[in-house]
Amino acid sequence: MKIKKGDLVQILAGKDRGRQGKVERVVLKTQEVVIAGLNQYKKHKKPQGENKPGEIVVIDRPYTVAKVALVCPKCKQQTRIGYKWSEDKKIRVCRKCDAVID
Ligand SMILES: [Zn+2]
């Protein structure tokens, strides 16, 4: 998974295309990311009994990773990720400016 929690990403598809947001959660199993405040949908909850009235809740729907692109914190451009080895550790680098992303 190239995208990590806390990364700034640009949305490539869907109703929030072109906007940027911070990755709030990464779901490895489904290769999805949840971006705080983006791809929001309202969900209507039915009332459940007398004490729980129905309500409308706003949820952030996940994006598949293919629909977001990382924004490099250094050159501020939407970029692809490359990898480099540093003291036996794999680090992510920006393909455009070579900045270390982690
Ligand atoms: Zn860069």
User: What pTM was computed for the model?
Assistant: 0.83
Is the separation of the CB atoms in 54 and 46 below 8 Å?
A: yes
Summarised one tens digit per residue, pLDDT across range 10-61 is 999 988 999 999 999 999 999 999 999 999 999 999 998 888 899 999 999 9
- pLDDT confidence of residue 52: 87
**95 alpha carbon – ligand 1 mean position (Å):** 7
Angle at 99 (CA atoms; ends 97, 102), nearest 5 degrees? 145
CA 73, 75, 81, 83 dihedral sign is negative
Average pLDDT for 73-91: 93
CB burial string 29-67: b at 16+ within 10 A, e below: eeebbbbeebbeeeeeeeeeeeeeeeeeeeebebbebeb
**69 alpha carbon – ligand 1 mean position (Å):** 12
Summarised one tens digit per residue, pLDDT across range 83-93 is 999 889 999 99
**3 alpha carbon – ligand 1 mean position (Å):** 15
**72 alpha carbon – ligand 1 mean position (Å):** 5
DSSP 38: S
CATH of 8-94, one of 1.20.1060.10, 2.30.30.30, 3.40.1190.20, 2.60.120.380: 2.30.30.30
Is the separation of the CB atoms in 38 and 3 below 8 Å?
A: no
Domains of the chain, residue spans? 8-94
